[in-house]
Every structure is written in structure tokens, then in C-alpha cells.
């Protein structure tokens, strides 16, 4: 175990190493060996941006720093003059060749699937790149308008024959965008854009429908019908919950389809496939409401198997897909914790009602058995002499 004295001796070095992970401790200069006027620790992908804005000629001198996720990978930075995401961005991408030289390419991201190398729609000059200690630096001057610009950045694992290979689609990769204030009064923070708003709406709708209302409707049907006094109120409550859940779920499903159509090249296969299956099962469950035979019908038991099987499948698939959605959207921890708490509360309620239901059923059977015994022919008959 290290002594306090040795820790005291090592502390300056530990502090220096930790501090080197912030932009303020990095010494980065432009082509004229001048320190940039501003810098910011970007909120995703362990990246940094140094910049100087010249309002007189509407230019922005930048130095972007990031380490590729693996040796031979690439990094990129750019501005988006038409939106807030990757689509439409004018990008500078850099990677190291085997000899150590850094190549910088200009890329026009027409969409997530259409990337055109060559001249950008914005004026760029003084482009160069270098690698220092595994970190790639991109230097450039960009013509800008206004007091802020939307910018994006990214890192990728590899380069094949001069072509950038696809980057990961983890939350950090998808959140690597923001707005840079050129007056130095604000840092580059990610804004909630229209796409993120749609994702939030999609998540809330589906969490409420498949994750709360649908399980609640099943709890009502399973436990309240045990009590004769709750008949037929339990059925209307059950049907109301399920129909409401389906209506809200359809809205959430529609927003998911819209998001998918607007995110060409980005696909979450598991989340998408489960969502489609969930919607189909839920639609079948709604049909069950209109195909419900009377209790005395000879095929009622088949309907029960179908209705219960599809219902429990919807609950399981819904909960699984909601947590997959949390991993994709990567919201603040409180949202996932809140839904988990609601889920635990529903589970606890189901356990308590299950115990009460069994007590009622067993007591009812016991009373019925006693009544049958007393009303039968089990009394002692007088002996015939």
C-alpha cells in the first residue's frame, strides 16, 4: 500500500494527467503560432474544439482534437449550414496513413447514406492535420455567418482503401452535435432538435401505452373479476385500458415509422422488429374484443388461450422494447429510474392481488365443499331394528 508521502509526491503527476483531459490544459496554436481565443470540451466522444472567431471577415479558425476509437481509425468535424444533424453537414475527416502522415478529406454529407467527397458548400482554407500521441488534430478556417453555427463531430474505427468505414451508432455517436456560440459567452452544448423531440415523444407514448396501461389492464382483468361485486365494471375498465393503450401505442408506432423514414442509414433492427411484432399482436388483441364468444360457447376455451397468450406476449415484448428504447435514446437517468419504479409498483400490486385472489378462491371452495357436505346424504341414518 502506498504511503501518504509517496501519494503526496505522485499527486502533481496524477493531477497533470487528469487535467490534460480538458481543453484548457491543452496547448494548441494556429498556423501563426497563436493560441486560440476559445476552447470547449465537447459533450460526446471525448473530443475538444479550439477556435477563434474573426467577425471582421466572418471567418472561424478551428482546431478539432479527438482520438480514433482504434488504431487506423478516423475523426471528423464540420458545420451544418442547413440543419442540426449529420445530414447536410460539410465535414473535414482525417486519418493517419501507415507512414504517420495525416490525410484530411472534405465530405459533403447529402444524407446518412449519400456522402460526396470534394468541394464543400462553405468556403474552407488552411486545412491540415497532424497526430500527437494518438490524438488527431484537424486545423482549418471556415467562412461563417451569424453569431452561432451548428456543428457536428464523429469518430470511426477504420479506413479501407481511402474510404471511411461506418462509425458506431452508440448514443455518444448519435449525440455528437451541438451549437457553437461564436461570441465566447456560451459553450458548445447539444440542443434538443426536432428529431430528438420526436424521439422523446415516441418514447413517452410507447412507455405509457405498452409499458403502463396495457399491464394495468391485464391486472384489472385478472384480479377484479374474482369479486362478484365488480362484475361487469371490471370488464369495462379492462377494455378501456386496453383500447386506450392501443390508441396511444398506434400513435407511438407511427412516430417510430416517421423517425425511421427520416433516418436513412440508421436502423435499430431489434427495436424495430420487436415494435412491428408488438403492434401486430396488439391488433390481434383488439380483434379479440369483437370475436369474444359467450362463456357457455364450446370454443370459449380456445379464445381464452388465444387472448391470454397474446396479452402476456404484448406485456413482455412491450417492456423489453421500452428498455431497448432507453438504451437507444439515452435520456437522463431519472427517466429510466422512474419507469423502473412504476414497473416495480405494478409488479408489487400484482403480487398482493394474487395472494388476495388465492385466499378468496380457496375460501370460496372451502365454503362450497362444506355446503355440499351438509346438503348431501351423509347424515347418519337410524338403524332398522
Specify the pLDDT at position 19: 37
Q: In this structure, are residues 36 and 51 in contact, taking their beta carbons and an 8 Å threshold?
A: yes
Residue at grid coordinates 362463456: 295
Specify the pLDDT at position 296: 76
Specify the pLDDT at position 189: 44
Residue 157's Cα: distance from chain center in Å?
A: 22
Annotated binding site: 202, 238, 271, 307
Mean pLDDT of 366-374: 65
Specify the pLDDT at position 331: 73
For residue 88, which of 177, 198, 164 has the smallest C-alpha distance?
177
Specify the pLDDT at position 374: 57
Specify the pLDDT at position 187: 43
pLDDT in tens, 201-219: 888 999 999 999 999 999 9
Give the torsion sign (CA, 81, 83, 84, 86).
negative
User: Under CATH, what is the fold of the domain 25-181?
Assistant: Immunoglobulin-like (2.60.40)
Residue 248 scores a pLDDT above 90: yes
Q: In this structure, are residues 26 and 41 in contact, taking their beta carbons and an 8 Å threshold?
A: no
225 φψ region: left (φ > 0), alpha (ψ -120 to 50), beta (else): alpha
Say which residues have a Cβ less than 8 Å from residue 25's Cβ, sequence separation at least 6: 19
Question: Of the ranges 71-75, 114-118, 274-278, which one carries the lowest mean pLDDT score?
Answer: 114-118
pLDDT in tens, 157-191: 888 888 888 888 777 887 888 888 887 554 444 44
Residue 314 scores a pLDDT above 80: yes
Same fold, 25-181 and 194-362: no
pTM above 0.75, yes or no: no
CATH of 194-362, one of 1.20.120.1770, 3.30.300.30, 1.10.287.70, 1.10.10.10: 1.20.120.1770
Can the peptide bond before residue 232 be classed as cis, meaning omega within 30 degrees of 0? yes
More confident residue, 118 or 280: 280
Specify the pLDDT at position 77: 92
Got the DSSP string for 345-369?
Answer: HHHHHHHHHHHHHHHHHHHHHHHHH
Residue 144 scores a pLDDT above 50: yes
Cell numbers given for 193 = 432538435
pLDDT band with cut points at 50, 70 and 90 for residue 224:
confident
pLDDT in tens, 272-293: 889 999 999 999 888 887 777 7
* Percentage with pLDDT > 90 across the chain: 23
Specify the pLDDT at position 313: 92
Specify the pLDDT at position 254: 87
Cα-Cα end-to-end distance for the chain? 101
Cell numbers given for 93 = 475527416
Annotated binding site for heme b: 202, 238, 271, 307
pLDDT band with cut points at 50, 70 and 90 for residue 304:
confident
pLDDT band with cut points at 50, 70 and 90 for residue 351:
very high
CA atoms of 158 and 167, how far apart (whole Å): 8
pLDDT in tens, 5-15: 343 334 334 33
Helix axes 333-374, 214-224, angle to 10 degrees: 10
What residue spans define the domains of the chain?
25-181, 194-362
Q: In this structure, are residues 292 and 303 in contact, taking their beta carbons and an 8 Å threshold?
A: yes
Q: In this structure, are residues 68 and 74 in contact, taking their beta carbons and an 8 Å threshold?
A: yes
Amino acid at each position: 500500500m502506498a504511503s501518504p508521502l509517496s501519494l503526496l509526491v505522485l499527486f502533481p503527476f496524477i493531477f497533470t494527467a487528469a487535467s490534460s483531459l480538458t481543453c484548457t490544459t491543452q496547448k494548441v496554436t494556429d498556423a501563426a503560432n497563436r493560441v486560440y481565443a476559445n476552447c470547449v470540451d465537447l459533450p460526446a466522444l471525448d473530443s475538444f474544439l479550439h477556435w477563434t472567431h474573426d467577425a471582421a471577415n466572418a471567418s472561424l479558425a478551428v482546431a478539432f482534437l479527438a482520438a480514433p476509437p482504434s488504431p487506423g481509425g478516423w475523426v471528423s468535424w464540420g458545420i451544418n449550414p442547413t440543419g442540426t444533424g449529420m445530414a447536410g453537414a460539410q465535414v473535414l475527416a482525417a486519418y493517419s496513413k501507415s507512414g504517420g502522415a495525416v490525410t484530411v478529406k472534405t465530405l459533403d454529407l447529402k444524407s446518412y447514406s449519400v456522402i460526396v467527397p470534394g468541394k464543400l458548400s462553405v468556403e474552407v482554407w488552411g486545412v491540415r492535420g497532424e497526430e500527437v500521441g494518438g490524438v488527431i488534430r484537424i486545423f482549418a478556417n471556415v467562412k461563417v455567418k451569424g453569431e452561432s453555427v451548428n456543428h457536428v463531430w464523429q469518430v470511426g474505427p477504420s479506413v479501407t482503401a481511402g474510404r471511411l468505414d461506418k462509425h458506431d451508432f452508440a448514443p455518444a455517436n448519435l449525440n455528437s452535435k451541438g451549437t457553437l456560440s461564436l461570441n465566447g459567452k456560451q459553450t458548445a452544448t447539444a440542443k434538443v432538435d426536432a428529431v430528438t423531440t420526436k424521439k422523446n415523444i415516441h418514447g413517452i407514448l410507447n412507455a405509457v401505452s405498452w409499458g403502463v396501461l396495457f399491464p394495468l389492464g391485464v391486472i384489472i382483468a385478472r384480479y377484479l373479476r374474482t369479486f362478484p361485486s365488480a362484475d361487469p365494471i371490471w370488464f369495462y375498465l379492462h377494455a378501456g385500458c386496453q383500447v386506450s393503450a392501443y390508441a396511444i401505442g398506434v400513435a407511438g408506432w407511427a412516430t417510430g415509422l416517421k423517425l425511421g423514414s427520416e433516418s436513412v442509414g440508421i436502423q435499430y433492427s431489434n427495436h424495430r422488429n420487436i415494435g412491428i411484432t408488438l403492434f401486430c399482436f396488439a391488433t390481434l388483441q383488439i380483434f379479440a374484443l369483437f370475436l369474444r364468444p359467450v362463456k357457455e360457447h364450446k370454443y370459449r376455451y380456445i379464445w381464452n388461450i388465444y387472448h391470454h397468450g397474446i396479452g402476456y406476449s404484448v406485456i413482455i415484448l412491450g417492456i423489453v422494447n421500452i428498455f431497448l428504447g432507453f438504451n437507444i435514446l439515452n435520456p437522463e437517468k431519472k427517466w429510466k429510474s422512474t419507469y423502473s419504479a412504476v414497473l416495480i409498483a405494478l409488479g408489487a400490486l400484482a403480487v398482493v392481488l394474487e395472494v388476495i385472489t388465492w385466499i378468496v378462491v380457496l375460501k370460496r371452495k372451502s365454503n362450497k365443499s362444506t355446503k355440499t357436505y351438509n346438503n348431501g346424504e351423509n347424515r347418519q341414518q337410524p338403524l332398522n331394528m
